[in-house]
């Protein structure tokens, strides 16, 4: 199994809603990532978990809250988002803490904030 699975594929939420994005991998990878991608742009790193601990937070607003319940799962909790947060949210994983091996990406969650 070389897949990273993200749910849901599409999400529409109001600015007062609370929702969560989920990501799962069963490759035994020990680093997991959240990226945000706007249209026609490359992905931007948001968070990195390494061995289930948050190792990088790229100064992301607190309305985004990551969680890594175990080595296979990664969540992104969303609360009080703004319309400019609408984007494709990608989850990725790598075998270890370095990135000399390739990152495996999920299909993404298309988030629309209304």
Partner 1 sequence: AQSVTQLDSHVSVSEGTPVLLRCNYSSSYSPSLFWYVQHPNKGLQLLLKYTSAATLVKGINGFEAEFKKSETSFHLTKPSAHMSDAAEYFCVVSEGGNNRLAFGKGNQVVVIP
Cα distance between residue 17 and residue 44, in whole Å: 24
Cα distance between residue 106 and residue 93, in whole Å: 9
Q: Is 31 helix (H, G, I), strand (E, B) or coil?
A: strand
Residue 33 interacts with partner 1 (CB under 8 A): yes or no: yes
CA distances from 90 to 6, 54, 84, 114 (A): 8, 17, 16, 20
CB nearer partner 1, residue 64 or residue 94: 94
Residue 1 interacts with partner 1 (CB under 8 A): yes or no: no
Residue 60 interacts with partner 1 (CB under 8 A): yes or no: no
Closest distance between partner 1 and the C-beta of residue 91, in Å? 8
Residue 59 interacts with partner 1 (CB under 8 A): yes or no: no
In the complex, which residues of this chain contact partner 1 (CB under 8 A)? Answer: 4, 6, 31, 33, 40-43, 45, 48, 50, 55-56, 88, 90, 92, 94, 97-108, 110
């Amino acid at each position: 199994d070389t897949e990273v699975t993200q749910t849901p594929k599409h999400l529409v939420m109001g600015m007062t809603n609370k929702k969560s994005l989920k990501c799962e991998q069963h490759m035994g990878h020990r680093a997991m990532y959240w990226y945000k991608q706007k249209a026609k742009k490359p992905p931007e790193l948001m968070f990195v978990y390494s061995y289930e601990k948050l190792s990088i937070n790229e100064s992301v607003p607190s309305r985004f809250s990551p969680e890594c319940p175990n080595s296979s799962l990664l969540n992104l909790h969303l609360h009080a988002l703004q319309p400019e947060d609408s984007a494709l949210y990608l989850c990725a994983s790598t075998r270890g803490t370095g990135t000399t091996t390739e990152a495996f990406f999920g299909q993404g969650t298309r988030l629309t904030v209304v």
